[in-house]
Amino acid sequence: MSNTLLKMFTATGIGLAMSWQATAASIHGTLSFDKRAPYGALVFVPSSSQGSQRVEIDQVDKTFTTAIAVNAPGKAVVFKNSDNMDHNVYANDIRNNARFDVGLMSPGGTREVEASWQDDALIRIGCKIHPKMRAYIANINSEHFSVIEMDKTEQTYRFTLNDVPSNTRAIKVLIPGYDDLELHLDSQIAAPIDITKKSKRRGQITLTTEGLK
Amino acid sequence: MNAVFRLIGTTVAIALCLATMVSYAGSYPLPDATDIEYPDDEAPSQRQIELGKALFFDPRLSENNNRPCSSCHNPDLGFGDGLKLSEGANGAPLDRHTPSLYNLAWGSAFMWDGRAMSLEEQVMMPIVAKKEMNLQALEMRNRLIEVPFYRREFIAVFGDPVLSKDSVASALAAYVRSLQVTDTPFDRYIKGDKHALSAEAKRGFELFKGKANCTKCHDGAHFTDDSFRSLGIDGDDPGRGAVIGDASLNHTFKTPGLRNVSLSAPYMHDGSLESLEAVIRFYNEGGGPAKHKDKLVTKLQLSNSEIADLVAFLGSLTQLEAHARPAQP
pLDDT at A23: 56
Residue ranges per domain, chain B? 2-29, 34-177, 185-315
pLDDT band for position A7 (50/70/90)?
Answer: very low
Same topology for domains A24-47+142-213 and A51-141, yes or no? yes
pLDDT, mean of residues A92-109: 94
pLDDT at A181 over 90: yes
Per the DSSP assignment, residues forming a β-bridge with A67 are none
pLDDT tens column, B211-245: 999 999 999 999 999 999 999 999 999 999 999 98
Strands (E), chain A: 25-33, 40-45, 56-57, 59-60, 63-64, 68-71, 76-80, 87-93, 98-105, 110-114, 122-126, 134-139, 144-149, 156-164, 170-174, 181-184, 193-197, 200-210
Q: With 50 as the cut, is the pLDDT of residue A19 above it?
A: no
Identity of the residue in A38, A130, A202 whose CB atom sits nearest the CB atom of B226: A130
Q: How far is CA A133 from the centre of its chain?
A: 17
> In Å, how far is B274's CA from the nearest CA of chain A?
27
Q: What is the pLDDT of residue B5?
A: 47
Average confidence (pLDDT) over B163-184: 97
Residue B256: cis peptide before it, omega within 30 degrees of 0: no
The minimum CA-CA distance between B303 and chain A, rounded to whole Å, is 27
With beta carbons less than 8 A apart as the criterion, state whether A140 and A15 touch: no
* pLDDT at res. B200: 98
Q: What is the pLDDT of residue B12?
A: 43
Q: What is the mean pLDDT of chain A?
A: 87
Q: What is the pLDDT of residues B73-114, one digit of tens each?
A: 999 999 999 999 999 888 899 999 999 999 999 999 999 999
Residue numbers in A near B246 (CB within 8 A): 101, 128
CB B285 within 8 A of CB B212: no
Contact A128 B109 (CB under 8 A): no
More confident residue, A18 or B53: B53
A36 contacts chain B (CB < 8 A):
yes
For residue B22, name the pLDDT band (cuts at 50, 70, 90).
Answer: very low
Q: Which residues of B touch A175 (CB under 8 A)?
A: none
Mean pLDDT of B10-39: 66
Closest chain A residue to B38 measured between Cα atoms?
Answer: A36
- pTM for the model: 0.90
Q: Which CATH superfamily is domain A51-141 in?
A: Cupredoxins -  blue copper proteins (2.60.40.420)
Residue A203 has pLDDT above 50, yes or no: yes
Contacting residues of B for A131, CB less than 8 Å apart: 108-109, 114, 226-228
Domain range A24-47+142-213, CATH architecture: Sandwich (2.60)
Checking if the pLDDT of A206 tops 50, the result is yes
Confidence of residue A163 (pLDDT cuts 50, 70, 90): very high
Task: Please state the domain extents for chain A.
Answer: 24-47+142-213, 51-141
* Interface residue A198 vs chain B (CB under 8 A): no
| Mean pLDDT across B56-65 | 96
Percent of chain B residues past pLDDT 70, beyond the cut:
92
Determine the residue type at B245. G
Range B185-315 classified under CATH 1.10.760.10: yes
Q: What is the pLDDT of residues A28-41, one digit of tens each?
A: 999 999 999 999 99
Domain B34-177 identical in fold to domain B185-315: yes
What superfamily in CATH does domain B34-177 come from? Answer: Cytochrome c-like domain (1.10.760.10)
